[in-house]
Structure 1
Amino acid sequence: MFVDMPLAQLREYRPERSEPAGFDAFWERTLKEARGHALAPAFTELGDTHLASVRVHDASFAGFGGHRIGGWLLVPAGAAEPLPCVVQYIGYGGGRGLPHDWLLWPAAGYATFVMDTRGQGAGGWSGGGTPDPTPGSGPETPGKLTRGALDPDEYYYRRLYTDAVRAVEAARSHPAVDGGRIVVTGGSQGGGIALAAAALADGVRAAMIDVPFMTHVRHAVEITDDEPYGELSRFFRSQPHLVDTVLDTIDHVDGLNMAARATVPALFSVALRDPITPASTVFAAYNHYAGPKDIRVWPYNGHEGGGAHQKTEQLRWLAELPLS
């Protein structure tokens, strides 16, 4: 069933943003601190992948706090010139998986850099191995949404979004990548990360943002109990005196505030039967997005957001987009 507003209303839905005072200064300080650590990108080409059409590199770089963040860099075999690069972020609970999970963009002629997700990768669908050495203090519900949520400086998504910016910088550092043609993408949590990277990272030329998570969060927790937003509902049930504190922290990473600062061309997707990232939360980010934008609406789809059909739309959109 349809789980949110009618489509005509969604297209006009542009709620007020809850933007913390000093939002820009917060992120400027955060990224300056991160860049105080040498990026130290490392790439080791693997020779035993049995993938004849791509060169696979085991990658790592220094993310938030100088912590080592893993990844993959895949480059089409035989590429003679630096290529545009699609930087891929991953959905909730997942990690970088295996190299053959990420063959779409190399098959289309792009390099792709896949960022492992700190502290995730054991959700049962895509493995990872990057730890999160800074757990944060205070009470929390199992999962990531309330980890460090009593203080914006300690919040998990501050660390993760900083990693995302540094991943763009790491991808740009490799000689097989044209550093002036970086595209960020992801779905669900990965879509929220891509939205943040589009707002915060230098050198991004375009973004493909599928059913983004962590957007319009104050509204999301009012209309869905599905995971992962259910983590917040359970936390608030037992800690009602901390509701305002947590939501004030989340405002520092909310996709509405990121969207208002992102100016590169973007292709969004939204599904009207999605109970995990309801359509109104996606359209709120889309309608606040400050750059050129388009959106693909999937009326009969859920959280897969169009799935392989959306990938076809992305291939076409990116091929038609001037990246130079």
Structure 2
Amino acid sequence: MLERSLGGWSRGWLAGLSLVLWCGASVGAAEAPAPAPAPAVTVTIDTDRAEALYRCGETARFTIAVEVPEAARAAAKAKAVLTLDGGKVLETRNLDLTKGPSTIEGTLAEPGFLQLAVSVDAAGTRGNGLAGAGFEPERIRKGSAKPADFDAFWAEGKQRLAALPLDLRQTRLDAQCTEKAEVFAISFANIDDTRIYGFLCVPRGKTGPFPAWVSVPGAGPGPLGPSGKNYAEEGVLALTMGVHAYDVGTLTRDEVQAIYKELNAPMTYSHHGAPDREKYYFRRTYLGIDRAITWLASREDFDRKHMVIDGSSQGGGSALILSGLNANITALAANVPALCDHAGLLLERSSGWPRLVKGATPEERQPYLEMAAYFDAAHFAESITIPAIVSAGFIDRTCSPSSVYAAYNELKGPKRIFNGPREGHTTKVGEYPAFLGRWVRGQLGLTEPLPPTR
């Protein structure tokens, strides 16, 4: 899920405050000379404020400039759609490209995000642009209330799993080890006669106790390897856990990909078991990873002071969920977190990945809404008091900025959010990537901690 792509918007690049997307013609057949590429269509959208932030009731001004081949200009068609963060359509307008740049204005009376999407068709050559503007996002609230039995549901699951033997299986991966780190494939018994799998990297040639770093990958088949080896070489226990019930540690990449393809054949795994909360895919995932974290915290070589969880997209949502589940975690970093604000659509805005709530009618939606509430990172955030950093991309169509803020605003501890007015679903949101490593190392006790901190 976490990739440098936004579907039809994947080739967009912002220049200054602008989103610019280039689209050309396809390459010709290999046996014939390639035709000259068609002139590109360029769509540029500027907001009138660099930070793209406004008070409710203020007006956000979007300026749209479109460049098309001169021969196609008269026949070119351009359409602008203004929405409530990819949800409710607020305005649709056809643009006259013969009159130069166009301007569209919008405002919100309540906290939220405007999203402007522009599509252009110039004689078959297409271009797209996307821009966003936030209105007091620090006041955005989640779309549903935390269920009364939320804590009891998860406590019961943890108790059921605790009754099963741990059955730790650990295999040293000699080819992955270095002079400074030992690497192991690990797994634990999990509910429903399954196992949870991952990797553990342990400092080599050093005496503990050590701080610990935990990560869950973005959506997909992985992890396909130990992502925390660099931390282990600095003197940190590094645990990387997958969300699936197959052995990422000892299977080959081709074997993992084949199993993953089969897993998703009926539907994407993120919807397996819905709308039954007992059978939903992520229930066994988070119970299993919670067990792995508790085991990590029980190791004699853990310092019992520093445990940071760090992830992006699915991994970012996992950081929030697991921080709500496991008291051993002392700090969290969540880049463009998924699994947030599943009920955001009730407020006519876009929910975060995986958009669990289905159905065209309220009756069809209800069972999904009820189940989704138990797996909403925004509800877990209510009980989180540890330091946290989070990022949100204003043109993120996978994990919408309103869904991210709905969770972020529930956090109770020291926190900081990094906005990306130019960014979509990416690991490079604003200043977040430059800050992340320094902040995590401070929270691990390797360097002087930076705020937000205890």
TM-score bin (small chain) = 0.7 to 0.9
**What is the aligned-residue identity percentage?**
27
Corresponding residue number in structure 2 for 1:236: 359
Q: Secondary structure at the match of 1:203?
A: coil
- Residue 158 of structure 2 is aligned with which of 31, 37, 41? 31
Shift of the 142–66 alpha-carbon distance from structure 1 to 2, 3 Å rule, reads closer
Corresponding residue number in structure 2 for 1:55: 182
Aligned residues: 310
Find out whether 1:247 has 2:373 as its counterpart.
Answer: no
TM-score, with structure 2 as normaliser? 0.61
Asked whether the equivalents of residues 71 and 116 of structure 1 are also in contact (C-alpha less than 8 Å), the reply is: yes
TM-score, with structure 1 as normaliser? 0.83
After TM superposition, give the deviation of residue 170 of structure 1 in Å. Answer: 2.6
Asked whether the equivalents of residues 138 and 405 of structure 2 are also in contact (C-alpha less than 8 Å), the reply is: yes
Find out whether 1:17 has 2:144 as its counterpart.
Answer: yes
Find out whether 1:301 has 2:427 as its counterpart.
Answer: no
Find out whether 1:260 has 2:387 as its counterpart.
Answer: no
| Counterpart Cα distance in 2 of 1:60 and 1:145 | 21
After TM superposition, give the deviation of residue 252 of structure 1 in Å. Answer: 0.8
After TM superposition, give the deviation of residue 277 of structure 1 in Å. Answer: 0.2
| Counterpart Cα distance in 1 of 2:271 and 2:255 | 22
Asked whether the equivalents of residues 270 and 305 of structure 1 are also in contact (C-alpha less than 8 Å), the reply is: no
After TM superposition, give the deviation of residue 31 of structure 1 in Å. Answer: 1.0
Shift of the 92–115 alpha-carbon distance from structure 1 to 2, 3 Å rule, reads same
| Counterpart Cα distance in 2 of 1:211 and 1:120 | 26
| Counterpart Cα distance in 1 of 2:254 and 2:382 | 31
Find out whether 1:186 has 2:308 as its counterpart.
Answer: no
> Bigger shift: 169-178 or 263-272?
169-178
After TM superposition, give the deviation of residue 322 of structure 1 in Å. Answer: 7.2
Q: Larger Cα Rg: Structure 1 or Structure 2? A: 2
Shift of the 54–120 alpha-carbon distance from structure 1 to 2, 3 Å rule, reads same
| Counterpart Cα distance in 2 of 1:184 and 1:169 | 13
Find out whether 1:287 has 2:413 as its counterpart.
Answer: no
Asked whether the equivalents of residues 311 and 333 of structure 2 are also in contact (C-alpha less than 8 Å), the reply is: yes
Shift of the 225–262 alpha-carbon distance from structure 1 to 2, 3 Å rule, reads closer
| Amino acid in the other structure paired with 1:172 | A
Where in structure 2 are there 5+ consecutive unaligned residues? 1-18, 20-51, 53-84, 86-112, 115-132, 446-453
Shift of the 105–7 alpha-carbon distance from structure 1 to 2, 3 Å rule, reads farther
| Counterpart Cα distance in 2 of 1:226 and 1:126 | 30
Asked whether the equivalents of residues 105 and 111 of structure 1 are also in contact (C-alpha less than 8 Å), the reply is: yes
Q: Secondary structure at the match of 1:204?
A: coil
After TM superposition, give the deviation of residue 188 of structure 1 in Å. Answer: 0.8
| Amino acid in the other structure paired with 1:114 | T
Q: Which has the higher contact order (CA 8 A, sep 6+)?
A: 1
The two structures, once aligned, show a CA RMSD in angstroms of 3.3
| Counterpart Cα distance in 1 of 2:443 and 2:217 | 23
| Counterpart Cα distance in 1 of 2:351 and 2:145 | 21
Corresponding residue number in structure 1 for 2:436: 314
Where in structure 1 are there 5+ consecutive unaligned residues? none
